[in-house]
Amino acid sequence: MSEKKVILSGVKPTGEPTLGNYLGALKNWVELQDDYDCYYCIADLHAITVPQEPKDLRRRSLEILAQYIASGIEPEKNILFFQSHVSAHAELSWVLSCISYMGQLGRMTQYKEKSQKSEENLNAGLFTYPVLMAADILLYQADLVPVGEDQKQHLELARDLAIRFNNRYSETFKVPDIYMSKVGSRIMGLQDPSSKMSKSGNDENDYILLIEDNDTTVRKIKRAVTDSVGVVKYSDEQPGIKNLITIYSKLSGDSLSEIESKYEGQGYGKFKTDLAEVVVEGLRPVREKFMDLMNNKDYLEKIYTEGAKQAEYVANKTLRKVYKKVGFIPR
């Protein structure tokens, strides 16, 4: 094994990645692949805490994998796999559940929020899925985990469980840290620039999907909220324009000041027209590569089969150590 630090990231195949996900995470992850050992897991086990249509779950899982690769995450440099293909995730989750305290899980903010929204679907998986998330991380002895604000509490649980297990049974797991990505990559909604761009809202004009047709992308940018000031300026007083300038800068490589100078004395119309072109051209290689991949399912199968083999080798090594320490007779 290499001496590089290990990064693990998992994504549920329950939605479709947006431009915000691409600029805020995927594009940054591409830069990690030469410096870290990266594991990217399509977290399909996590997805079923909410009822899923099986054929849609299969389709979305494959599409997420294709979008990762299309975004520049190279299968030769990273381990890409489906969580359900490595049984050690579920096995370690059970062991960790047995050292997890009900009170600690009950205090998880996401559980409290979801339990209020989904009383008719208040299943045990919603309560214990942070333990499965801890298993995902600890199986690969991850040094770093890129998580958003909403998942920090779950990473703290993973750290607590690693420390608790190590104290009880001797040193076994690395205690993971948060991977802090570059500042300035937070992309906000096009209709509500006070909130992060997300597909979870009701307004489809608020987000740009990584994979959608170009005309739809252009239309959404032209409808993006601005203000009455009429000046293209990167300013907290103009959150809508500030967000659009961030997107322009991230995709074009132009600095914020260069963009301000370029549109000095011009209205928002010209800026939005140019921005739409920048976004369409910036995403064109990703969208074209995605279509190629989805038309080559055999290649995708080869990638996720090989990824699962590599992930399984590392995961089972950890699991054997855990099973021995808790007192199970070796297989």
191 vs 24, residue with greater confidence = 191
| One-character DSSP codes across 151-174 | GHHHHHHHHHHHHHHHHHHSS-S-
Task: Name the more confident of 109 and 187.
Answer: 187
Q: Does position 63 have pLDDT exceeding 80, yes or no?
A: yes
Q: Which of 2-6, 92-96, 165-169, 209-213 is predicted with the least confidence, judged by mean pLDDT? A: 2-6
Between 19-23, 118-122, 237-241, 319-323, the lowest mean confidence (pLDDT) is in 118-122
- What pLDDT does 166 receive? 98
pTM score, whole prediction: 0.89
Q: What DSSP string runs through 192-223?
A: -TTSB--TTSS-GGG--BSSS-HHHHHHHHHT
Residue 111: predicted pLDDT: 77
What percentage of the chain reaches a pLDDT higher than 70?
A: 96
Q: What percent of the chain has pLDDT over 90?
A: 71
Higher pLDDT, 228 or 78: 78
Can 114 be counted among the known catalytic residues? yes
Residue range 29-47: average pLDDT? Answer: 92
The CA distance from 310 to 47, in Å, is 23
Condensed to tens digits (0 to 9), the pLDDT of residues 191-247 reads 999 888 887 767 899 999 999 999 999 999 999 999 888 899 999 899 999 999 999
Question: Could you say which of 12, 27, 174, 196 is catalytic?
Answer: 196
Please give the mean pLDDT across all residues of the chain: 91
**Predicted local distance difference test score (pLDDT) of residue 219:** 96
Question: Over the stretch 83-142, which tens digit does the pLDDT of each residue have?
Answer: 999 999 999 999 999 999 998 988 888 777 777 766 667 888 888 999 999 999 999 999
Helix axes 124-139, 88-97, angle to 10 degrees: 110
184 pLDDT higher than 50: no
Q: Could you give the CA distance from residue 37 to residue 4 in angstroms, rounded to a whole number?
A: 6
Catalytic residue among 27, 114, 220, 272: 114
